[in-house]
Amino acid sequence: MRIVLTEGSQATPVPLSFFEEIAAAAACLEEVAEPVLLALTLTDDVGIRAINKQWRHLDASTDVLSFPAVVFSPQETAGLEQASFPADAWDSDEGAYFLGDIVISLPAAFSQAEEYGHGMARELAYLFVHGVMHLMGYDHQNPEDKKQMRDMEEKTLAKAAVAGNDDQALIKIAWEAREYAYTPYSRYKVGAALRSKNGQVYTGCNIENAAFGLTNCAERTALFKAISVGDTEFDAIAITADATAPWPCGACRQALSEFVPGIRVLISWNEGKENAESTLDQLLPHSFLGYKEDGQ
Ligand code: THU
């Protein structure tokens, strides 16, 4: 799903890919069969209050607003695969159907993040996924609908791998990532989950090749995914394997140290029965810095 930041929007404090991953997870779970897009406005309390007043005649600020552009029937909301998108929702510039607008107040997100103690990214993820669900036809008028909407929000955040600051959740994601390991030669499957400071998780698995030297370790798969979308600050990596403790190999320690010398390294093996934790500083003292003078 494409996301367009509106002209009136403030800059996003997390990479746009953070929102795109969540929207993509929602579109996948809802089986959206057509190209779709949404508009996102990040604003302040005054901004969201003005929008609330203009469009909903409510002179009050809030944390999130959503304005669906397409009305889906209840049957369609259960799975948008069969949904009929009206012709006037087609945006020919973007080549996608316009689902609607989401507006988020950044100061409201910030104070709620403080209140719940789970960080700005997790709060933004909650507010955004709530807006996305509204655009897809969910609502919370009665308790039954509300529960259905909440369930879908949680499923979407789990699929988008937004793990907040919960280490157990990160390890679980690394176990899931391991399922995709391509290991016809060693049969040693490794999973990795690298969490950036904004709460986004990048998964990786080892990918082998008939030309053995081309094999890519799980940790570097995850690291390169993150770097290649502009996310460069990390807080922890979880690594999972089967028989032996999957401490990262020397090459992966060096690759990680380029970006995060002090990152926490969590490992889990033997079906999760054994676990250990260290830091990259401990695993790779005196790493090679090349021309980097201050190691930053
Ligand atoms: N492997 C990793 O994925 N990460 C490491 O840190 C060490 C090794 C993979 C590479 C290869 O596919 C398999 O484990 C056996 O060496």
For the ranges 35-49, 66-80, 83-97, 133-147, the lowest mean pLDDT is seen at: 66-80
For ligand 1, the distance from its centroid to the CA atom of residue 173, given in whole angstroms, is 18
- Per-residue confidence (pLDDT) for residue 288, from 0 to 100: 87
- Where do the domains of the chain lie? 2-159, 167-295
Candidates 3.40.390.30, 3.30.420.40, 3.40.50.300, 3.40.50.620; correct CATH number of 2-159? Answer: 3.40.390.30
> Percentage of the chain with pLDDT > 70?
97
User: In the structure, which protein residues have their CB atom closer than 6 angstroms to any atom of ligand 1?
Assistant: 183, 186, 188, 190, 206, 208, 215, 217-219, 248-249, 252
The pair of three-digit structure tokens given for residue 224, joined into one six-digit string = 């390169």
Q: Is it the case that residue 205 has pLDDT exceeding 50? A: yes
For residues 255-269, give the mean pLDDT.
Answer: 93
Per-residue pLDDT band for 131 (boundaries 50, 70, 90) equals very high
Q: What is the mean pLDDT of the chain?
A: 90
Please give the CATH architecture assigned to the domain spanning 167-295: 3-Layer(aba) Sandwich (3.40)
Residue 8 identity (one-letter amino acid) = G
Contacts of 19 (CB under 8 A, 6+ apart): 3, 12, 40, 124, 128
Per-position DSSP letters for 181-227, written without gaps between them: -B-TTT----EEEEEETTSBEEEEE-B--SSGGG-B-HHHHHHHHHH
More confidently predicted of 257 and 118: 257
The atom number, within ligand 1, closest to the CA of 207 reads: 12
Per-residue pLDDT band for 295 (boundaries 50, 70, 90) equals very low
Per-residue pLDDT band for 293 (boundaries 50, 70, 90) equals low
Most confident range, picked from 110-119, 141-150, 164-173, 187-196: 187-196
For the ranges 10-19, 103-112, 250-259, the lowest mean pLDDT is seen at: 10-19
Determine how β-strand 96-105 pairs with β-strand 191-196: unpaired
- Per-residue confidence (pLDDT) for residue 82, from 0 to 100: 72
pLDDT digits (tens, 9 = 90+) for 159-185: 887 766 678 888 988 998 999 999 999
On whether the CB atoms of residues 255 and 223 are closer than 8 A, the answer is yes
Among the residues of the chain, which ranges form H helices? 16-29, 45-56, 74-77, 106-116, 119-135, 143-159, 167-178, 218-227, 250-257, 280-283
- Per-residue confidence (pLDDT) for residue 119, from 0 to 100: 75
Q: Among 203, 217, 223, which residue has the most ligand 1 atoms within 8 Å of its CB, making it the best to mutate?
A: 217
How far is the C-alpha of 80 from the C-alpha of 137, rounded, in Å?
Answer: 9
The atom number, within ligand 1, closest to the CA of 183 reads: 12
Gyration radius of the chain over CA positions: 21
More confidently predicted of 85 and 192: 192
The pair of three-digit structure tokens given for residue 269, joined into one six-digit string = 């093996």
pLDDT digits (tens, 9 = 90+) for 208-245: 999 999 999 999 999 999 999 888 889 899 999 998 99
Q: Among 190, 240, 254, which residue has the most ligand 1 atoms within 8 Å of its CB, making it the best to mutate?
A: 190
On whether the CB atoms of residues 6 and 41 are closer than 8 A, the answer is yes
Per-residue pLDDT band for 252 (boundaries 50, 70, 90) equals very high
On whether the CB atoms of residues 61 and 45 are closer than 8 A, the answer is yes
76 is catalytic: no
Per-residue pLDDT band for 294 (boundaries 50, 70, 90) equals low
For 247, list phi and psi in degrees, rounded to 5: -60, 140
pLDDT digits (tens, 9 = 90+) for 71-114: 887 777 667 777 778 888 899 888 999 999 999 999 999 999 88
